[in-house]
């Protein structure tokens, strides 16, 4: 498949106005993507758990307008107008216009809300951009006559095409957003290890997964709920000419290959080793870029050390991962959740900002709420 496959046929239906609502989850990468090429193409493949409770709900209201030369939209977060979000949305619309040629025909009001703190290392851009992409796809679906076969894709595959294009569009807003359309394990980035993998959009992990990884838990410890000191976009760009970049990209391919056998066998110790190594490698890339930066906080390290001590003492299969921020995702199998959650509440929550944390688990993707 190529990007040209996502250029639609001529729209055959006239829609004056409407409203659509989607909720889309965040995701947490197990093998991390860090560094990108032109057009939001990843430098290395990644695989993620789709989350369940950490999500964005977006309502898109649209109405026909006379000016066909410019994009026209307003953005609201939790009911408050957010003009500082507009540059990112403007860039997104410019990138996707060729694939959604109706965009300048409508005025949009984007109303969005998160179930978690914005810009706190829980990939709010992933859930937000994926929700917006899904809303726009729902508009396009109305504009295309149902009798038309979309881009030579058979009619019985329309849902698959819808998800692929939504993921493709979401990627152009935020790379990791392409992994939030579906679940529970999503692969993004071309790699020989995963059949069907592509740089263009996320795909459902196509191989056997052991029962150990079903209903996997993710308790997110909110060490710092403020804005990140360095944005992910800046961080990705610092991988250009990074002295360790090529070795890191090769490592990601190797870890994804290793993870295939681990996910099939259910080897939780091996799973923890790869996931934690990936998290620390991500932050090592930040600390060795030029300019260098550190997103972890002292309490991030305190939590990591507490997890290691508890795991060694109990033999339970608790591990951590990090996104591009200070917060800690504590991962563990559902069958061990009672003891581990008790440990989190008694030992780790004290390191969270205002004692705040989120109990989440593996999820299965976005849902349309209303049209």
Give per-residue pLDDT as tens, 264-296: 999 999 999 999 999 999 999 999 999 999 999
Band of residue 52 on the pLDDT scale cut at 50, 70, 90: very high
In this predicted structure, what is the pLDDT of residue 208? 97
Question: Can 3-207 and 214-361 be said to share one CATH topology?
Answer: no
Give the CA count within 13 Å in the CB-facing half-sphere of 160: 10
For the chain, give the percent of residues with pLDDT over 90.
88
Nearest to 282 by CA among 26, 55, 24, 28: 28
In this predicted structure, what is the pLDDT of residue 123? 56
DSSP state of 171: H
For domain 214-361, which architecture applies?
Answer: 2-Layer Sandwich (3.30)
Judged by average pLDDT, the poorest of 8-22, 29-43, 143-157 is 143-157
CATH class of 3-207: alpha beta
Domain locations along the chain: 3-207, 214-361
In this predicted structure, what is the pLDDT of residue 225? 78
Q: How do 217-221 and 106-114 pair as beta strands?
A: unpaired
In this predicted structure, what is the pLDDT of residue 122? 64
Nearest to 317 by CA among 336, 301, 342: 336
Contact 50, 181 (CB under 8 A): no
Contact 25, 170 (CB under 8 A): no
* CA dist., res. 251 & res. 246, Å (int): 9
Q: Average the pLDDT over 247-256 and give the result.
A: 98
Q: How do 46-64 and 106-114 pair as beta strands?
A: antiparallel
* CA dist., res. 126 & res. 185, Å (int): 15
In this predicted structure, what is the pLDDT of residue 149? 42
Contact 361, 11 (CB under 8 A): no
Buried b (16+ CB within 10 A) or exposed e, 340-361: beebbeeebeebbbeebbbebb
């Amino acid at each position: 498949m190529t990007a040209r496959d996502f250029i639609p046929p001529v729209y055959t239906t006239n829609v004056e106005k409407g409203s659509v609502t989607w909720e889309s989850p965040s995701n947490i990468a197990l093998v991390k993507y860090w560094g990108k090429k032109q057009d939001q193409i990843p430098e290395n493949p990644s695989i993620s758990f789709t989350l369940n409770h950490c999500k964005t709900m977006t309502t898109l209201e649209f109405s026909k307008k006379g000016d066909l030369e410019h994009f026209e939209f307003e953005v609201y977060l939790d009911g408050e107008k957010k003009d500082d979000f507009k540059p990112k949305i403007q860039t997104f619309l410019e990138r996707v216009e060729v694939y959604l040629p109706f965009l300048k025909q409508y005025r949009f009001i984007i109303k969005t809300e998160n179930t978690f703190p914005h810009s706190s290392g829980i990939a709010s851009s992933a859930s937000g951009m994926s929700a917006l992409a899904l809303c726009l796809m729902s508009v396009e679906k109305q504009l295309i006559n149902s009798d038309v076969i979309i881009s030579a894709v058979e009619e019985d595959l329309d849902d698959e095409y819808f998800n692929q294009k939504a993921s493709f569009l979401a990627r152009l807003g935020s790379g990791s957003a392409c992994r939030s359309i579906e679940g529970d394990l999503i692969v993004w980035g071309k790699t020989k290890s995963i059949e069907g993998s592509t740089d263009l959009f996320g795909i459902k992990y196509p191989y056997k997964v052991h029962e150990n990884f079903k209903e996997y838990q993710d308790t997110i410890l909110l060490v710092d709920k403020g804005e990140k000191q360095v944005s992910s976009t800046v961080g990705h760009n610092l991988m250009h000419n990074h002295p360790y970049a090529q070795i890191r990209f090769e490592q990601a391919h190797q870890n994804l290959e290793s993870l295939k056998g681990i996910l099939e066998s259910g080897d939780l110790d091996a799973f923890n080793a790869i996931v934690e190594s990936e998290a620390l490698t991500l932050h090592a890339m930040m600390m060795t870029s030029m300019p260098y930066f550190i997103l972890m906080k002292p309490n991030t390290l305190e939590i990591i050390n507490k997890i290691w001590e508890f795991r060694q003492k109990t033999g339970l299969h608790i591990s951590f991962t990090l996104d591009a921020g200070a917060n800690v995702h504590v991962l563990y199998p559902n069958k061990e959740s009672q003891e581990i959650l008790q440990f989190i509440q008694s030992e780790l929550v004290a390191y969270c900002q205002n004692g705040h944390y989120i109990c989440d688990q593996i999820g299965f993707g976005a849902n349309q709420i209303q049209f």
